[in-house]
Amino acid sequence: MTDTMPNPTTLPAFAERHIGPDDAQVAQMLAVIGRSSLDDLTAVAVPDAIRATDAMGIVPADSESAVVEELRGLAARNRVLTSMIGLGYYGTLTPAVIQRNVLENPAWYTAYTPYQPEISQGRLEALLNFQTVVSDLTGLSTAGASLLDEATAAAEAMTLMRRSSKAAKDAVLVVDEAVFPQTLAVMRTRAVPLGIEVVVADLTGVTTGEALTEAAGGRDVFGVLVQYPDLHGRLRDHRALAEAAHGAGALVTAAADLMALTLATAPGEWGADIAVGTTQRFGVPMAFGGPHAGYMSVRSGLERTLPGRLVGVSVDVTGAPAYRLALQTREQHIRREKATSNICTAQVLLAVMASMYAVYHGPRGLRAIALRIHAHATTLAGALREGGVDVDSEPGFDTLSVSVPGRADEVVAAALAEGANLWRHDGDTVLLSLDETTDHDDLAKVCRAFGVSEPGRVTIEEPEWDGALLRTSDYLTHPVFTSHHSETAMLRYLRRLSDRDFALDRGMIPLGSCTMKLNATTEMLAITWPEFANLHPFAPLDQTEGIRHLIDELSQWLCDITGYDAVSLQPNAGSQGELSGLLAIAGYHRSQGDVERTVCLIPASAHGTNAASAVMAGMKVVVVKTAEITGNVDMDDLKAKVEQHRDQLAAIMVTYPSTHGVFEDTITDLCAMVHDAGGQVYVDGANLNALVGLAQPGRFGADVSHLNLHKTFCIPHGGGGPGVGPVACREHLAPFLPNHPLDAEAGPQTGVGPVSAAPYGSAGILPISWAYVRLMGASGLRRATEVAVLNANYVATRLRDHYPVLYSGEGGLVAHECILDVRPLTKETGVSVDDIAKRLVDYGFHAPTMSFPVAGTLMVEPTESEDKVELDRFCDAMIAIRAEIDAVGASGNAATSVLRGAPHTAQSLAGDWDVEYSRQDAAYPPGVDPLAKYWPPVRRIDGAYGDRHLVCSCPPPEAFED
């Protein structure tokens, strides 16, 4: 429902909950900065040329309780039936201890990506558990710390196989025809700009290289992808296919169901090089398509080509085992245009849930769940066959392919009348999948829909499969999977892990370019309601009216906020929003006959995902210089590059405000210059938190942007995901937004194809952003932006005399973040940004962003949610650290300083103390409240050791002995 209150300018009560500083604190901070009001501050900081002239018309709700009631009304418009649609999405039972203590626990959901490993040991251990689960079940040696979903994981596998195979450059990818349709569609979307040809073929009976070549239409093959079990539920022995592929110089990927792998032969054991899939059915609700943790595992030799994050085991300075992100030099933020993937973060919170599902149930419990699912499937198949229905007789796990010539629609309708959703594969075939929620009553519903007698008792027995299909290898043998099966043990394990980490529930996380703001509890409430959580993404339209209305309303609000004309909420990460925007630009140029426009200009200061996304979109990256003094785009170099590539210019990608934390006053000139040359302007929305209510990219010259709902619009970061990266654009690009083959309403018919497995990506967390916008209204959103700019300038003003603020704009002001230059201090004293970052832990803070976008600097973004008390605490800590740096400068020995010794654990204080500084100085520096002290679980970690001795699954308990 839409509120009809007449005045959107009144500041809502919720704004006082979300925004940290009260009026008195705002006045005090303005006095320090030297500005008379928030309007005065933003009038100077934000260039006149881009300032919004029209107020947004978004009216705030009356109260938090009113928003909850609105959400209840939307939830009531959804109808949750028994889902047997399958296709990679299944009913699951989330253990209450995991829902309450992970999904609904801010200690887990407000954490950031674990770039500071010393204060991230809890979630790093949980992710290592996740990697172990995936590696063990797939039978492949190394697994990553999650990907976005199964379809994008398959697309990543496609490119991994291409760069790892020595097959000819024009070799093709062969995909079995029985893969999930959304997976094939996403692979095709990603293949087109890369010039990869995808051949779909029936690989039944393909057992030789000659047969594989024939299936590929006589072409060389670099990769093969099969679904295991496949779309029709068939479980096939692919040993001969894998051997044939390898003989032809191709790699093999299995898109595998982890639950099935508790019973079926692991892909690595029959010859797969790569396995991909989703962990959704490990306790993560369907949530209308997401978020869920995708996965990828690879055989030995491919681990350094894995996309995304990889957790490894290293040691700290005392030699104690510790976890960290491994092999980071292969990631997009370092490799930029040479990156092989644009994945930045993924689905950590959901990966933690899935890993804990495995920890809680253990190998015996998982196997019991799988046997129960399989027993219900075989019982139902038997009942249907006894009634004369033709059910595919090949071995299967949970899915039945039922032949009903000419009657598929009739059967699906009959099942719907019984309260169950089946999948119409075609006019003659119905598919149905069972899961751990299936009971005897569900089987009876299906039997009545098919017009046969309901089955008798379900008997749980071992699968009657050929021996080649039966799993004989052990899995999940590490003690962590056999030690926490009581709720008491599980509860305490989760608490121990969360206590090791620093998240927003402990204190400010001032990470520049990350926008670690409040994730209000009211905003989070609806995501676990069954009316949202238990919706299948391919459920009939009339069962999903509530969530679709929410999606439409949020989309319109985002258009109002940004000044764009259309938006797609399908991209389930900022990186995928970037790719979607660039694919829209490419599609537009093709529609105009400008196929030669493939050059993408990117400033040197841009985030690495920009360049990586451009390459994935089939574009050639040309870097534009940034001015050394101001940090702004070098307009002379831009003009030269535009003229040099005028006829080939596709786009420019620019972040605004800049990655240097400045409102550049040349942005409108930049847009005009690119447009005059026939290019399009992509404004990266990473810093939208400095624009909402003040300026609209779609009105000051941009053609397309991705937004980060997990930054500006309050979806929590979850320790490194989930995220939502909508793409918003002007009218002329709207026909080229993502669409979806299984949902005609999910995008334009002329769209570029899907970029996510589900039609609306991570739809299950969209109620968070919807609630935030509804609670804040236009006035609250504008005030949040103003205070974000205020807080950043207050920090910059307080610290400027102690650390140079590297870049600033008009009046010496910054935007919503500032860069502190540590390089002169490093040169004088040897104290590095790492030393400052680790020392901040002793003071009770997460470090700012290190060495991005400029090496040797710290980028600080306090957001609007931190009040003056917390900002002062941070500034006081930074000033105290500067005094410690000065002391190092006087002594000339950084190596033995308290800074180099940081962070300090409680255990380190109890042992021998042979350093020059005191225990008091180490653990309780000025301003640290002894009653609120955070203790890191490990000392400083040796990253290089972890890369040299790569271990990416759970280490034995003996490794943690003294």
pLDDT at site 279 = 98
Mean pLDDT of 821-827: 97
Topology at the third CATH level for domain 564-774: Aspartate Aminotransferase; domain 2 (3.40.640)
Mean pLDDT of 811-837: 97
**Span 418-446, pLDDT tens digits:** 999 999 999 999 999 999 999 999 999 99
Mean pLDDT of 670-676: 98
DSSP 572: S
Angle at 197 between CA 191 and CA 203, to 5 degrees: 110
Sequence-ordered list of residues with C-beta below 8 angstroms from that of 468, at least 6 positions apart, any chain: 237, 239, 265, 270
- Give percent above pLDDT 90 in the chain: 92
Where are the strands (E) in 763-862, listed by range?
Answer: 818-821, 849-850, 857-860
pLDDT tops 90 at residue 955: no
The reply to whether domains 120-312+331-360 and 564-774 share a CATH topology is: yes
pLDDT tops 80 at residue 680: yes
pLDDT at site 9 = 64
User: Across the strands, what pairs with 278?
Assistant: 294
pLDDT tops 90 at residue 656: yes
Q: Are 576 and 722 in contact (CB under 8 A)?
A: no
Q: Which residues of 167-176 are buried (b: 16+ CB within 10 A; e: fewer)?
A: beeebbbbbb
d(Cα 294, Cα 350) in Å, to the nearest integer? 9
pLDDT at site 330 = 47
Angle at 357 between CA 352 and CA 363, to 5 degrees: 125
Mean pLDDT of 56-71: 96
pLDDT at site 1 = 39
Measured in residues, the chain has a length of 962
Q: How many helices (H) and strands (E) are present in the chain, helices listed first?
A: 33, 26
Phi, psi at residue 642, to the nearest 5°? Answer: -65, -45
d(Cα 548, Cα 751) in Å, to the nearest integer? 19
Mean pLDDT of 484-501: 98
Q: Are 729 and 704 in contact (CB under 8 A)?
A: yes
pLDDT at site 95 = 98
Rounded (10°) angle between helices 64-76 and 766-799: 150
Q: Give me the residue spans of the domains in the chain.
A: 120-312+331-360, 564-774, 817-948
Mean pLDDT of 781-795: 98
What band does 944 get if pLDDT is binned at 50, 70 and 90?
A: confident
pLDDT tops 90 at residue 738: yes
pLDDT at site 552 = 98
Classify domain 817-948 at the CATH class level: alpha beta
d(Cα 628, Cα 259) in Å, to the nearest integer? 54
Task: Please count the other Cβ atoms lying within 10 Å of the Cβ belonging to residue 344.
Answer: 25
pLDDT at site 957 = 55
pLDDT tops 60 at residue 335: no
- The SS3 call for residue 692 is coil
Q: Which residues of 745-766 are buried (b: 16+ CB within 10 A; e: fewer)?
A: ebbeeebbbbbbbbbbbbbbbb
Mean pLDDT of 709-722: 95
- The SS3 call for residue 789 is helix
Amino acid at 368: A
Q: How far apart are the first and last CA of the chain?
A: 61
pLDDT at site 336 = 59
pLDDT tops 70 at residue 863: yes
pLDDT at site 4 = 45
Sequence-ordered list of residues with C-beta below 8 angstroms from that of 907, at least 6 positions apart, any chain: none
Average confidence score pLDDT of the chain: 95
pTM (2 d.p.)? 0.96
- Tokens 């759970």 label which residue? 954
Query: What does R_g of the chain's alpha carbons equal in angstroms?
Result: 28
DSSP-assigned letters across all residues of 330-364: GSHHHHGGG-S-------HHHHHHHHHHHHHHHHH
- Give percent above pLDDT 70 in the chain: 96
What band does 5 get if pLDDT is binned at 50, 70 and 90?
A: very low
pLDDT at site 340 = 66
pLDDT at site 63 = 97
pLDDT at site 959 = 54
pLDDT tops 80 at residue 958: no
Mean pLDDT of 458-469: 96
Topology at the third CATH level for domain 120-312+331-360: Aspartate Aminotransferase; domain 2 (3.40.640)
Mean pLDDT of 121-150: 97
pLDDT tops 50 at residue 237: yes
pLDDT at site 321 = 94
pLDDT tops 90 at residue 558: yes
pLDDT at site 635 = 96
